[in-house]
Amino acid sequence: MTSTPAPSGPVVVEVEPTTTAVVRSVVPTTGLADFFDRAFGQLGAVLAEQGVAPTGAAFALYHRAPDDTADLEVGFPTAGAIEPRGDVEPSRLPGGRVARAVHAGSFDGLGDAWGRLLDWVRAEGLEPGPTEAFWEVYLTEPSPDMDPADLRTELNRPVAG
């Protein structure tokens, strides 16, 4: 699956299930940045070792809304399944109808962006999908010297109705 930014506002798109390589964990929300750094380091090493190239941008799939902890997997889409190694394992992003929007700006604004997307879903007469899962695709790779306003994060929430 290739992620493409949504137009100016939210849209509903149909997506195919996507094979991925991930690291999954339940982590304190205060430790998310450390988890991302560790997981992406492990993923890079395993993908290189197995000769598997990512087919798209990095993502985080949340299995439920975070509270004090987050149940999530972070990874990359891949053309085929990888062999499990250490904390790295094969997985899939779900397919089906998805409400999608692109958040422009720092990661600090993601909570509000998700709230706006869910408000839009309800205003359109849609219901969140049968699962609590939702995911973010990091369209721009963060770097220490970049302006956070330049970050683009695609938000994806399965919908029904």
What whole-number distance in Å separates Cα of residue 45 and Cα of residue 57?
A: 16
State the pTM of this model.
0.91
pLDDT in tens, 40-98: 999 999 999 999 999 999 999 999 999 999 999 999 999 999 999 999 999 999 999 99
CA distance 111 to 156: 13
In the chain, what are the domain boundaries? 18-93, 95-161
Question: Residue 1's pLDDT band (boundaries 50, 70, 90)?
Answer: very low
Strand pairing partners for 60? 74, 136
Reported confidence tier of residue 9, pLDDT bands at 50, 70, 90: confident
What pLDDT, on a 0 to 100 scale, did the predictor assign at position 92? 97
Q: How many residues does the chain have?
A: 161
Structural domain 18-93, CATH architecture = Alpha-Beta Barrel (3.20)
3-state SS assignment for residue 96: strand
* Beta carbons within 8 Å of 107's beta carbon, 6+ residues apart: 142, 148, 151, 153
